[in-house]
Amino acid sequence: MSLLCLGLEGTAHSFGAGVVSSKGEVLSNIWHMLSPAEGGIHPREASRHHSDMGPGIIRRSLEEAGISHNEIQLVSFSRGPGLGPCLRTTATMARTLAQKLSVPLIGVNHCVAHIEIGCLESGFEDPVTIYASGGNTQVIAFAGGRFRTFGETLDIALGNMLDVFGRTIGMSFPAGPSIERKAAEGVEYHQLPYSVKGMDLSYSGMLTAAKKLHLEGVPIADICLSIQETAFGMLAEVAERAVAHTKKNELLLTGGVARNNRLTEILEGVAERHGASFHRVSPPLAGDQGAMIAWTGILQHQAGDELPISDSHVMPKWRTDEQDIIWRRKL
Ligand code: AMP
Ligand code: MG
């Protein structure tokens, strides 16, 4: 008998609800992203967005899945990491639903969910994962019962760097897609700080230098090309070392920045050089959405995990490598 899980995602700018079966079928996946006219994301505004939009998104998700409330057998939610007010709003909806429907509640690590939905889609069993989004940039691989972070950004995330640069030159949020389009028109590469420290990365120096190029009158298309080539090259270097040292033969690209074709092309090259298979998570499952939370909720539930409501506080700083991945123990 297949089990149905409703997963709620609400760590930052997006609120999503997805229904996934224990056979791994994504029955629905509805989300909405707060996109402020100007400025960045304010945690309180984002949490208000989630409480305003949440009930409607959940209803639409159930409709699209063709099920009623009482067919949900499990409720999971993104417990962290993320912005406190957003996490609390989402957790409140998940607790209310779990209690009302008398079904188990599962707390899911957002970063782990990005990996697990990628594994579901690709059929990968044990990849090196590049997780690049608005809030995170990590190179992760499973070792000793946990998803270990082999390398990560020491300051801002790759997506955040793109969004902030885009905002400086008048692009709307999220700027990643516009930068990708502009970069395709670029002709001349301009040097930007290439900052890889061991297995870690730093993107803030590049952001400052790119803003400076803009003030100096360098064409926007050339700056976008230079940002992409430098930033993605740095990530590829760390990814390549992770693949070489772990000797894993799968490379997975997940998170919102996985929508970028140039980054995909560069990482494909890395995988090819090391005889590894490559998969880029498809656009609907790459960014923040509920299906990944639902699927990971199912994996945790099947391994015996359950979160008592009294213990279900949110964990804004919950790191990827702080959770025992009990459903993968055998690896
Ligand atoms: P997430 O935080 O996972 O929801 O992903 C959102 C992030 O992905 C934002 O920082 C976007 O700018 C970025 N993003 C989306 N599409 C692209 C793209 N085509 N190229 C680069 N970044 C992108
Ligand atoms: Mg994310």
- 39, pLDDT greater than 70: no
Beta strands 250-254; 14-21: pairing state: unpaired
- What is the CA 67 to chain-centroid distance, rounded? 27
Q: What is the distance between the alpha carbons of residues 218 and 57, in angstroms, rounded to a whole number?
A: 43
Same domain, 138 and 36: no
Residue 257 domain-assigned (yes or no): yes
Residue 70 domain-assigned (yes or no): yes
Number of domains in the chain: 2
Report pLDDT for 279: 98
pLDDT in tens, 63-120: 999 999 999 999 999 999 999 999 999 999 999 999 999 999 999 999 999 999 999 9
Report pLDDT for 268: 98
**For the CA of 162, the nearest atom of ligand 1:** 12
Q: Record the pTM.
A: 0.96
Same domain, 203 and 306: no
Q: Hey, CA dihedral for 262, 254, 48, 319, is it positive or negative?
A: negative
Report pLDDT for 36: 76
Same domain, 130 and 277: yes
Same domain, 228 and 132: yes
Residue 213 domain-assigned (yes or no): yes
Residue 102 domain-assigned (yes or no): yes
Same domain, 40 and 103: yes
Q: Which residues pair with 204 in a beta bridge?
A: none
What range defines the domain where residue 20 resides? 4-114+285-322
Q: What is the distance between the alpha carbons of residues 132 and 135, in angstroms, rounded to a whole number?
A: 8
Rounded to the nearest whole angstrom, what is the distance from the C-alpha of residue 248 to the centroid of ligand 2?
A: 24
Instruction: Please report where in the chains the tokens 């629905």 appear, as a residue.
Output: 28
pLDDT in tens, 111-149: 999 999 999 999 999 999 999 999 999 999 999 999 999
pLDDT in tens, 150-177: 999 999 999 999 999 999 999 998 999 9
Q: What is the distance between the alpha carbons of residues 243 and 183, in angstroms, rounded to a whole number?
A: 28
Residue 69 domain-assigned (yes or no): yes
Same domain, 134 and 197: yes
List the CATH number of the domain containing 66. 3.30.420.40
Nearest residue (by CA) to ligand 1, atom 12, is 176
Q: Which residues pair with 6 in a beta bridge?
A: 19, 75
Q: Which structure tokens are listed for 295?
A: 């699927």
Q: By C-alpha distance, which of 261, 325, 329 is closest to 108?
A: 325
The residues lining ligand 1, judged by C-beta closer than 6 Å to any ligand atom, are 14, 133-135, 159, 162-163, 174-177, 180, 255-257, 259-260, 287-288
Between the CA of residue 32 and those of 52, 58, 115, what are the distances in Å? Answer: 11, 11, 21
Same domain, 131 and 273: yes
Q: What is the distance between the alpha carbons of residues 47 and 259, in angstroms, rounded to a whole number?
A: 25
pLDDT in tens, 252-299: 999 999 999 999 999 999 999 999 999 999 999 999 999 999 999 999
**For the CA of 132, the nearest atom of ligand 1:** 3
Rounded to the nearest whole angstrom, what is the distance from the C-alpha of residue 111 to the centroid of ligand 1?
A: 15
Residue 319 contacts residue 110 (beta carbons within 8 Å): no
Same domain, 267 and 133: yes
Report pLDDT for 100: 97
Who surrounds ion ligand 2 at CB < 5 A? 133, 288
